[in-house]
Amino acid sequence: MSNFNDSKSNITQTILLADRDLKTFLSVSSCVIFLYVNGVMIFTLRKKTVFQEASRYILFGHMLWVDTLNLVMSVVLFVLAFCRVFVMKIFCLILLVAATAIYQVSILNLALMSLERYVAICIPLRHAEITTYGRTNMAIGVVWMLSWIKSLSEIIIFCSIDTNTAMHLFCSKTTLFRLPVYKQLDIGFTCVFFVSVCFVIIFSYASIAAVAKTASSDKMSAKKANKTVLLHLIQLGLCAASILVGVIQEVIYVYTDYMTSINVMYFCFVALMIFPKCLSPLIYGLRDQAFSTLFKYYFTFGLKKQNRCNTEMHLEREK
């Protein structure tokens, strides 16, 4: 009877490990596919001068880079958590603060993209003057500086007053940042960032909607810009939803068994982390006719030559 029970336990353990490995493989392989798509998009942006000089495409390229980095960091942290790997404390600290900063950049970049569309539609005569190449890159630099404030605060607190002496630990915010001050810091910065970005996006949306109703000409561009800003608002909502991943992880580790925690973690990662980061750039890029046709040309390894010719003619007219 003892041998039978041991055999049954070994079989169950093998099934659990196989299920975990399968989910890990599917998650990582799907991320690799979307990373390839993002890579082709970034390559496409590098092929035309207009894509490198226009503020709209500069911000879109920045979004691609940030979402790509965000996706890579999310995959690394997910695999470590999913496989319950213990890592060095300093390595975990670097991963978490970098992931936090990149996440904040992705949120603030949505505000920049919305403001660019606001200027293009509501102040068209000054669009070229306001959204120059230098000012756009300066705005991106400011976004990165603001995004590192929270991460630097966490590093300072960790190095000065944190008493976590473990050299190796399970890498998550719950295990590394255990003091109450971290949670207060996280709530404060999250509220400030989300409220600010939400205000900017809603303001841009309302302003562009007003122009679309009152303008006698170019209503099509205004309506298209409004849909773009609405897409940013949806992206912000998806970013807000991804915050729930950490909360859900804390709950399932305490109140559920191992198999249930794996299934819940897998669903949250796919629905709240992979899906938003991969779908948003794809939708945004394919909505732009000039970019999408050239992207399809490179994505299909040059099979759609006619589309590329039409795109180049369209870009020449835009210049």
Residues of the chain where predicted confidence (pLDDT) is lower than 70 = 1-21, 23, 162-167, 215-222, 240-255, 257-259, 262, 279-280, 302-319
What pLDDT does 319 receive? Answer: 47
Burial class (CB in 10 A: 0-12, 13-18, 19+), 13: exposed
What pLDDT does 4 receive? Answer: 44
**C-alpha neighbours within 13 Å on the C-beta side of residue 167:** 0
pLDDT tens per residue, range 202-228: 888 888 888 877 765 556 666 777 777
Torsion on CA atoms 80, 85, 86, 92, rounded to nearest 10: -10
What pLDDT does 15 receive? Answer: 58
What pLDDT does 7 receive? Answer: 52
Superfamily of domain 2-303, CATH level 4: Rhodopsin 7-helix transmembrane proteins (1.20.1070.10)
What pLDDT does 8 receive? Answer: 46
78, 273 contact by CB (below 8 A): yes
Q: Domain limits of the chain?
A: 2-303
What pLDDT does 266 receive? Answer: 73
What pLDDT does 139 receive? Answer: 93
pLDDT tens per residue, range 86-103: 888 888 888 889 988 998
268, 244 contact by CB (below 8 A): yes
What pLDDT does 318 receive? Answer: 47
